[in-house]
Copies of this chain bind each other. A is one copy, B any other.
Amino acid sequence: MTAPARLSIASEYAALLVQFDTWMFDCDGVLWHGDRLIPGVIEVLALLRKNDKKVVFVTNNATKSRRSYKGKFDALGVEAHVDEIFGSAYAAAVYLSSVAQLPKDKKVYVIGQAGLEEELHEEGIAFLGGTDPADALPFDAASFTPDPNVGAVVCGLDTAISYAKYSKAFTYLSTNPDCLFVATNEDSTYPSAHGLLPGAGAISAPLRYALGRDPVCTGKPAKVMLDCVKAKVNYDPKRTIMVGDRLNTDILFGKAGGLATLLVLTGITQEAEINGPGASHIVPDYVTQSLADLRAAA
Beta-carbon nearest neighbor of A188 in chain B:
B210
A171-B195, A201-B210 provided; 11 other pairs, C-beta below 8 A?
Answer: A141-B193, A141-B194, A144-B194, A158-B163, A159-B163, A160-B163, A161-B163, A167-B198, A170-B189, A202-B207, A202-B209
A276 on the interface (CB 8 Å rule)?
no
With contacts A160-B138, A163-B161 taken as known, whether A201 is within 8 angstroms of B209 at the C-beta atoms is: yes
Residue-wise, chain A 93-124 has the 8 Å CB interface mask toward B (1 for contact) of: 00000000000000000000000000000000
Residue-wise, chain A 45-83 has the 8 Å CB interface mask toward B (1 for contact) of: 000000000000000000000000000000000000000
In angstroms, Cα B160 to Cα A160, docked, is 11
In angstroms, Cα B212 to Cα A246, docked, is 16
Residues of chain A whose beta carbon lies under 8 Å from any beta carbon of chain B: 138-139, 141-142, 144, 158-163, 166-167, 170-171, 174-175, 188-189, 192-199, 201-203, 205-210, 212
A170, B194: Cβ atoms closer than 8 Å: no
A209, B188: Cβ atoms closer than 8 Å: yes
In the complex, which residues of chain B have a beta carbon less than 8 angstroms from the beta carbon of A139? 159, 197
Beta-carbon nearest neighbor of A209 in chain B:
B205
A-B contact pairs, 9 of them (CB 8 A): A158-B163, A170-B189, A170-B196, A188-B209, A188-B210, A188-B212, A198-B209, A198-B210, A199-B210
**Other-chain residue from B199, B201, B202, B206 in contact with A202 (beta carbon distance below 8 A):** B206
Copies of this chain per assembly: 2
In angstroms, Cα B195 to Cα A144, docked, is 11
In the complex, which residues of chain B have a beta carbon less than 8 angstroms from the beta carbon of A212? 188
Beta-carbon nearest neighbor of A174 in chain B:
B196
In angstroms, Cα B206 to Cα A196, docked, is 14
In the complex, which residues of chain B have a beta carbon less than 8 angstroms from the beta carbon of A193? 141-142
For residue A87, give the distance in angstroms from its CB to the closest CB of chain B.
20
The 3 closest A-B pairs by CB, nearest first: A141-B194, A205-B205, A202-B206
For residue A200, give the distance in angstroms from its CB to the closest CB of chain B.
10
For residue A155, give the distance in angstroms from its CB to the closest CB of chain B.
11
In the complex, which residues of chain B have a beta carbon less than 8 angstroms from the beta carbon of A196? 170, 174
B160, A192: Cβ atoms closer than 8 Å: no
**Other-chain residue from B138, B201, B205, B210 in contact with A159 (beta carbon distance below 8 A):** B138
B197, A170: Cβ atoms closer than 8 Å: yes
In the complex, which residues of chain B have a beta carbon less than 8 angstroms from the beta carbon of A170? 189, 196-198, 202
In the complex, which residues of chain B have a beta carbon less than 8 angstroms from the beta carbon of A158? 163
B210, A206: Cβ atoms closer than 8 Å: no
For residue A14, give the distance in angstroms from its CB to the closest CB of chain B.
40
